[in-house]
């Protein structure tokens, strides 16, 4: 049984199709990254998953139960932090969680203490939320989602606005939760973080799933070579005239080169013959960000061509 599954889910607002037949499945016990540009349909998908929005067509299932059709999900089925968490500024972190738990039907106070301890806020739980830093508020939002000890945790941009130390804390926390058997669906714009943290990833654009699979497979394609030379400008000029080079770009002082055949010795010989000193030629695998941008570019080009027709 899947932790969650979208099957042909569509959502239409007037003439706008927020989701255009989304099919997505998340296996139990993994961290799944959901990626897509603004307006791709990620937020709509999460709201439908949580029962906040009704789909125009299709179905969503959480732990085998259809959202909106099989009644209210059990409290432990799902926990979520969607968009910016909102709290009462003049109440303590603990009191905020106690109030939200009471509204949800009442939770053992020991669970609140456990959730605050898990996110590193026990000891600061009596302080007013108004005095919390941005990172502490994000952790309090995650604690709120953890109080019912859900089997599926849904997080929308949990690391947004965090400093490097805060990012590392959230990353470690989510890994611990997954190791304890929790399934996590993570929506984020921080592709480097997603690549480090998630086992699986799905890319959404225009309300459709463009690609999905293990992160390791997504980034296993041709990443080209990183080229370091003694004369960058002359090298760029030479590369433009070499048939073996399919494309190249310059980033942060280095040059990235893709070849029509995996014959780097041909590239090196051509550069040396042109009087260029080759300092390094290093094979690279593509980063998740590159894969994502290529997919987004392909979608944009397809949309442009469709509009022309």
How do residues 166-210 score in pLDDT, each as one tens digit? 888 888 889 999 999 999 999 887 777 888 888 998 888 888 888
Does residue 57 surpass a pLDDT of 90? yes
In this structure, are 253 and 153 located in the same domain? no
Of 178, 199, 218, the residue at which a domain comes to its end is 218
More confident residue, 294 or 309: 294
In this structure, are 116 and 59 located in the same domain? yes
In this structure, are 132 and 259 located in the same domain? no
Of 218, 250, 265, the residue at which a domain comes to its end is 218
Query: Which residues on neighbouring strands pair with residue 213, listed in sequence order?
Result: 201
Q: Is residue 294 domain-resident?
A: no
Q: Is residue 304 domain-resident?
A: no
Q: Is residue 296 domain-resident?
A: no
pLDDT band at 221 (very low <50, low <70, confident <90, very high): low
* pLDDT value at residue 124: 93
Question: For position 256, which CATH number holds?
Answer: 3.30.70.100
Q: Is residue 54 domain-resident?
A: yes
Number of domains present in the structure of the chain: 2
Mean pLDDT, residues 244-249: 85
Alpha helices in the chain (DSSP H): 42-49, 93-103, 109-118, 134-146, 164-179, 191-197, 215-218, 232-239, 264-273, 288-308
- Are 36 and 194 in contact by the 8 Å Cβ rule? The answer is no
Q: Is residue 35 domain-resident?
A: yes
User: DSSP letter at 104?
Assistant: T
In this structure, are 122 and 191 located in the same domain? yes
- For 265, counting Cβ atoms within 10 Å of its Cβ (0-12 exposed, 13-18 middle, 19+ buried), the class is exposed
* pLDDT value at residue 283: 77
- Are 33 and 26 in contact by the 8 Å Cβ rule? The answer is no
Give percent of the chain with pLDDT exceeding 70: 87
* pLDDT value at residue 309: 45
Q: Is residue 295 domain-resident?
A: no
In this structure, are 139 and 258 located in the same domain? no
**Contacts of residue 7, Cβ cutoff 8 Å, sequence gap at least 6:** 23, 58, 59, 60, 61
Q: Is residue 306 domain-resident?
A: no
pLDDT band at 306 (very low <50, low <70, confident <90, very high): very low
Query: Which residues on neighbouring strands pair with residue 187, listed in sequence order?
Result: 34, 156
Mean pLDDT, residues 32-50: 87
pTM: 0.76
In this structure, are 38 and 120 located in the same domain? yes
In this structure, are 250 and 144 located in the same domain? no
Give percent of the chain with pLDDT exceeding 90: 31
Does residue 305 surpass a pLDDT of 60? no
* pLDDT value at residue 4: 93
Of 197, 218, 239, the residue at which a domain comes to its end is 218
Question: For position 33, which CATH number holds?
Answer: 3.40.50.300
Q: In whole angstroms, give the CA distance from residue 121 to residue 25.
A: 33
In this structure, are 114 and 211 located in the same domain? yes
User: Could you tell me the two tokens for 85?
Assistant: 């968490």
In this structure, are 140 and 237 located in the same domain? no
Q: Is residue 104 domain-resident?
A: yes
In this structure, are 264 and 202 located in the same domain? no
In this structure, are 179 and 53 located in the same domain? yes
Q: How far apart are the first and last CA of the chain?
A: 42
* pLDDT value at residue 77: 85
- Structural domain containing residue 54: 4-218
- Are 112 and 178 in contact by the 8 Å Cβ rule? The answer is no
Average per-residue pLDDT in the chain?
Answer: 84
In this structure, are 124 and 236 located in the same domain? no
């Amino acid at each position: 049984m899947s932790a969650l599954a979208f099957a042909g889910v569509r959502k239409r607002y007037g003439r706008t199709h927020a989701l255009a037949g989304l099919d997505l499945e998340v296996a139990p016990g993994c961290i799944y990254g959901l990626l897509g540009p603004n307006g791709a349909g990620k937020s709509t998908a999460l709201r439908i998953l949580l029962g906040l929005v009704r789909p125009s067509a299709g179905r969503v299932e959480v732990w085998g139960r259809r959202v909106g059709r099989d009644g209210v999900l059990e409290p432990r089925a799902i926990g979520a932090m969607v968009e910016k968490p909102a709290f009462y500024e003049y109440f303590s972190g603990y009191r905020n969680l106690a109030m939200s738990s009471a509204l949800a039907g009442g939770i053992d106070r020991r669970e609140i203490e456990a959730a605050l301890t898990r996110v590193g806020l026990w000891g600061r739980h009596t302080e007013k939320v108004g005095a919390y830093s941005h990172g502490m508020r994000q952790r309090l939002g995650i604690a709120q989602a953890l109080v019912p000890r859900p089997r599926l945790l849904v997080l929308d941009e949990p690391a947004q606005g965090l400093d490097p130390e805060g990012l590392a804390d959230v990353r470690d926390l989510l890994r611990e939760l997954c190791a304890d058997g929790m399934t996590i669906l993570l929506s984020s714009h921080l592709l480097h973080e997603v690549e480090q943290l998630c086992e699986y990833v799905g890319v959404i654009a225009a309300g459709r799933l463009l690609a999905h699979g293990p992160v390791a497979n997504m980034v296993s394609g041709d990443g080209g070579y990183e080229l370091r030379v003694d004369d960058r400008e002359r090298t760029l000029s030479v590369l433009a005239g070499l048939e073996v080079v399919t494309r190249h770009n310059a980033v942060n002082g280095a040059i990235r080169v893709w070849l029509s055949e995996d014959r780097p010795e041909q590239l090196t010989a051509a550069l040396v013959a042109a009087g260029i000193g080759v300092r390094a030629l290093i094979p690279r695998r593509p980063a998740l960000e590159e894969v994502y941008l290529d997919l987004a570019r392909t979608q944009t080009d397809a949309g442009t061509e469709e509009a022309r027709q």
